[in-house]
Structure 1
C-alpha cells in the first residue's frame, strides 16, 4: 500500500469526483485513476464505483475509509513530531455541528485555535442534519440529541438540558404555565422538525404535541421571537445561556414534569489513533463550556 495512493483515495471519496480530486492534488484525472486502480489491486477489492458522472464508495471502500485516514494522519503526525519547526497541531480539522451551538460556541473558538496552531486548517460545517461522519470524512461531530447506538466513539463535553422559557414581557401579559397540560393555552414557538416538546416524569420521557403559529428551521429564529415576547419556547441551556444570564429570557418550571437531561457530545470514528488536532479542538471546546 502506497501513502500517495491512500491520499488520492481519500480525496476522491471526499469530492465524489476524479476530476475534482485531480485538481486538488495537481494531477491529471488519468493519473488519479491509475493510482486508484493500483490501490484496489494491492488490497484485492474494489473501493469505488465509477460512472461517467460520479464516483461513490463501495461497501468495502466505506469500511476502508477510516483506516485510510488513520494511516495518513499517523504519517503526518510522525513528521510533525520530529520536525524542528514543530508548533502546535497541524492538518485540516473537519467538524460538523448543529448551527445554533456552532454559531454560539464553536465559531468564537476558531481565531484562538488557528493562532495557537499555525499549521492547522479548519473546515466547520454547521447543519442540523445528522451526517455520516465516516463517509463524509469528518474528524469529529458535535451532537446534542440523544445518542443512537453506533460504532462511533462518544465523549461527553457538557450537560445541556432542555429549558422551557419565555420573555418577561410575555409572562406579564399571559401568566405562567404550572403543569404540562397548561401549555395548550399558551402560544408556543417551535423548531420545524420538532413536533413534540419532551420532558421527564419519574425517570421516563414524556412529550406533548406542539402546534403553534410559528415554527422555524433554526434555533436563532425561535430564540429571537421568544425574546421579542411572542410565546414560549423549548430550547437547550447552551442555546439561551446568555439570554438567561441577562434576564432577556426566564426559565420556567412545571410542577408535574422535569426538563429532559441532554448533553453536548463529541463523536469521532471508532479507531484507536486520535489526531492531535482533534485533541486540541476538544480541549478548547471543553474549556469554553465549563
Structure 2
C-alpha cells in the first residue's frame, strides 16, 4: 500500500486507488493513516468527523464507513483477500488500526528522515543532514491533506506537520550554510522572510547569508527591517541572539565567515 498525505490525499493498493470520494470516509482514512502506528479510538474518530454534536447513530455510521474502506481495499487486493483486509484495517483497542509497513505512509517517512537530519546536524555532519532533509522536504506536494475536510483532530495534526516542515526547512538551510552554500540559499531565504516577516530564525539565516555573499549593507538593512516589524507589531526588540549577530555584522567579525561547528557555537550557533 501507499498513502500520501503531504499534499492532496493519495491512497493506493496494488496500484489501484482506495481513496473514498465521499467527505467523511476520506477524513476517516486520513486520520487512520496518520495514526497507523497506534490506532485511533472510537471517541476520537467521532470527534474528528462530527465534533461536539455527533448523531446518535455515530458509532453505527462509522462502522459503515469502515466497511466501505474495507470494500475498496478488498477490490484492490483481489477476491481472496477478505481475511487479509481485516488484518490490514483491524478492529483494535476500542477503535481501529490501519496496519501499514514502514515507508507506506509519506508522513511517517518524512518524520523519520527529518529526525535523522536533525541528528546529523547536531552531530556535526551537515552534508548528511542536508541530504536527509532535502529528501524529507521533497515528499511534500503542497499543504498537508489539501483536499480533505479537516475536523478538530486533523486540524491539530496538520498544524503539527506544517511546523515540522518549517523546522526541517530551517535545518536544511542551516546545514547548507555550514557547507558554504550561502549563495545557493539566498534566493530561497529572501522569499521565506517575505512570507514570514516576524520569524527570527529565518532572519538569522538570511542576515548571515547576505553577509557571506559580500552584502553587509543588505544584512544590516534586513536586521533593521525585522526590528521595525517587531517593534511596530509586537512592541518587542529582536532576541539577544539576533542582536549579537547584528553586532558581529557591524564589526565585520571574522567568525561570521568561518564554517566549522566549533566556531558556530562561539556565536551562539549563528546558523542554527
Q: Which band: TM-score by shorter chain?
A: under 0.3
Q: Which has the higher contact order (CA 8 A, sep 6+)?
A: 1
From the two aligned structures, give the one with the greater helix fraction.
2
The alignment's TM-score, normalised by the length of structure 2, stands at 0.26
